Amino acid sequence: MKRQFHIQAPGREPIVIDINDKESVNIRVDTAPTAFGHVGPSTFRIDGLRWAGKDHFHLGWGAGEFALNDIFSVALVEDNLTATPLEKEERYTAPEKNCLFCHKTQSNVRYLIDSGVLARICDECVAKCQRAIDERKFTTGSDNVISVKNKKAWWRRKKK
């Protein structure tokens, strides 16, 4: 006997998902927004993730709509039913990291200094920052904040 989810969604054959330690299963039910007086259908989506070493995959077992008084049921059981084939299985590819100042990707710069999710800067921007700091060193009476309010104009100016 295996641990399984048995899901009965309106207008579909039952969905059977084997539960395994390297997968997560998400069952989402969304009600339709009533913005602007329009009421759309309510929807469901059954998807998840699978981990395989350093890779992970996006999985999908089904999606659809349901109406008022439709019954959507989920049961966690021990059974030996044949699992429903996946409708979707896509390997996740992380987007390439980029400089948070000029937005160049890591493949378009010599170095990308990464100090966490919200702190990445390329060698070109470091050089521009160093030039701006060096220019301020020789200015008398200036404070220690270099304003980049007009970021595009300041950031993209040419070297002297």
8 and 87 co-located in one domain? yes
Between residues 143 and 58, the one the model is more confident about: 58
Please compute, for residue 76, the number of CA atoms within 13 A of its CA located in the half-sphere on the CB side. Answer: 4
Q: Which of 97, 101, 98, 104 is nearest to 129 (CA)?
A: 101
Rounded to an integer, the average pLDDT of 59-82 is: 90
Cβ proximity of 155 and 101 under 8 Å: yes
Claim to verify: residue 146 and residue 74 sit in the same structural domain:
no
Taking 3-state DSSP, the helix, strand and coil percentages for the chain, each rounded to the nearest 5, stand at 15, 40, 45
Whether 84 and 116 share a structural domain: no
Q: Do the domain assignments include residue 30? A: yes
Q: What is the pLDDT confidence band of residue 61, given thresholds at 50, 70 and 90?
A: very high
Residue 97 is assigned to a structural domain of this protein:
no
- Cα gap 102→152, rounded to integer Å: 9
Of 42, 65, 91, at which residue does a domain stop? 91
What predicted TM-score, i.e. pTM, was given to this entire model? 0.58
Given a cut of 70, whether residue 4 has pLDDT beyond it is yes
* Domain tally, the chain: 2
Q: How far apart are CA 22 and CA 52, in angstroms?
A: 7
Domain assignment present for 160: no
Query: 45 with 81, same domain?
Result: yes
pLDDT greater than 60 at residue 160: no
